[in-house]
Amino acid sequence: MYSTAEFRRGLKIEIDGKPFTIVEFQHVKPGKGGAFVRTKLKNLETGQVLEQTFRSGAKVDIPDLEEKNTQYLYQDGDQYVFMDNDTYDQLFIVEEYLGEAVSFFKPNIEVNVLFFNGKPIGVDLPITVELEVTETEPGVKGDTATGATKAATLESGLTVQVPLFIEQGDVLKIDTRSGDYLERA
């Protein structure tokens, strides 16, 4: 069990049989009464965010979470197929558990699949991925003084705003946390 003194961002806890991750927390010590911890929690299964207050020193359960290092192979209908890098077993995960992460998938990318009680509930992507530009308008010479951007469609289907000098066929480094263009790879 975790105590409220061990709370930190990203800590995974279990409340009422559901897995949560701590998004924000704040220790509050009012002048009157006992100290407490105010938290903002995100449900790992549904993505729902809720605020909850715990008395200082309260205990919460440790969830039965397991992370497996996998490699994305291909999409089959509404399912995505991953290979466990340790056992070489194939895992079939429905798109609803993956959320927005699917827009960063390309074959052979390494991701960690998160399991709760043996059921896949999400993936942890690397911080950056390299994706090739499949479609973008040509940049006009001399138009770069304003720092203008244009839309570019990447090989995964994701559309990002990029500087005007980016052309079709360029490989870009994309931040998976925000979905923003970082640099050419």
Prediction pTM value: 0.69
- Confidence (pLDDT) at 47: 79
> Residue 86's domain is classified under what CATH number?
2.40.50.140
Q: Which domain holds residue 23?
A: 2-60
Question: Residue 5: its pLDDT value, please?
Answer: 87
Position 132: which residue type?
A: E
**Using alpha carbons only, how large is the chain's radius of gyration in Å?**
21
Q: Are residues 148 and 162 in the same domain?
A: yes
Out of 73, 108, 124, a domain closes at 124
pLDDT of 99 reads 76
- What pLDDT score does 121 carry? 83
Provide the pLDDT for residue 83.
92
How many domains would you assign to the chain?
3
pLDDT for 70: 92
- Residue pLDDT tens, the chain, 185 long: 888 888 888 888 999 889 998 889 999 888 888 899 999 998 888 778 999 999 988 899 998 888 889 999 988 888 889 999 999 888 888 887 777 888 888 888 899 888 888 888 888 888 888 888 998 888 766 655 667 788 889 988 889 988 888 888 889 998 888 888 888 87
pLDDT at 127: 86
Of residues 177, 7, 34, 176, the one with CA closest to residue 105: 176
CA angle 136, 175, 122 (to 5 degrees): 115
> What CATH number does residue 8 fall under?
2.30.30.30
Task: For the beta carbon of residue 66, count every other beta carbon within 10 angstroms.
Answer: 12
* pLDDT at residue 178, as a whole number: 84
Which of these, 109, 5, 19, 6, lies nearest to 64 by C-alpha position?
19
pLDDT score recorded for residue 51: 93
